[in-house]
A = this chain, B = another copy of it.
Amino acid sequence: MTTKPLIDYFEEHLLLDEQEKAFVAHVFKVRRVKRRQYLLQEGEISRHNTFVIEGCFRMYMVDQNGKEHNLQFAIENWWIGDIGSFHSEQPSLLNIEAIEKSIVLQISKEDQLRLFVEYPKFNRIFRVMTENALVSAQRRILQNISSTATERYLDFVERYPHFFNRISNVQIASYLGVTPEFLSTIRKKLSTS
C-alpha cells in the first residue's frame, strides 16, 4: 500500500474515515522518477500536486542570465509543486527535477477539486498545510533581508540536517542565494574557527 505514508501524513492533521482513505488511495497515483528526470518544466502548466514517498527533488527558476535559483527542496513526506501555475492554469516559470531516483504520489487538479467538494475535511487540511508553508516562506524572506550568507548557511544546516547530507553544496548555494565558490569560502572559515 504505497499511499500509507500519505494517509499517515493527513492523519497528523485530522483523522480520516475508511471512505476518505479509499478515495485518497484512488485519486493519488504512484509514479516512479529517475534521477535528473523532471516533474515540471518551465513553460508547462502544472497539472499535478505531488507528495514525495521516497527520493529528493529541487524546484528552481532560471533567470535572464541563465542561472538557476533553487526555491525549494523536497524529500520523503514533503509536498512539491508550483501552486501558482496549478491554480491559475498559466505556464509555470519553475522547474522540478529529481535529484535522486524517487517515488511520488500525484493528484490531478480535477481529482483535487473532487476531493475538496466531496470530502470538505480536506479543505481544512490543505488550508493548514498552506499556512505552514507560508510561515516558512516568511521566515526565509526575513532571513534573506536581515542575515549574512554565513548566518543563512548555519541556519540551513541546523534546520534541515537531512537535506544537508543528501544535497550537493552547489544546490545549497543556489538555495541560499550565493555562488558555490563563496559558499566554499564560508565553509572554510567556519571550519577553521
Chain A contact-residue range equals: 20 to 34
Tell me which of B71, B116, B128 contacts A138 (CB under 8 A).
B71
State whether the Cβ of A43 lies closer than 8 Å to any Cβ in chain B. no
State whether the Cβ of A126 lies closer than 8 Å to any Cβ in chain B. yes
Task: Verify B140–A141 contact, CB threshold 8 A.
Answer: yes
Complex-state Cα separation, A128 to B126, whole angstroms: 10
Report A55-99 CB contacts with B as 1/0, cut-off 8 Å. Answer: 000000101000101010000000000011001000000000000
State whether the Cβ of A161 lies closer than 8 Å to any Cβ in chain B. no
State whether the Cβ of A157 lies closer than 8 Å to any Cβ in chain B. no
Contacting residues, chain B, for A128 (C-beta < 8 A) = 87
Task: Verify B67–A134 contact, CB threshold 8 A.
Answer: no
14 contacts between A and B (CB under 8 A): A63-B147, A69-B145, A69-B146, A71-B141, A83-B138, A84-B138, A87-B128, A87-B135, A120-B123, A127-B127, A127-B130, A130-B130, A130-B131, A144-B145
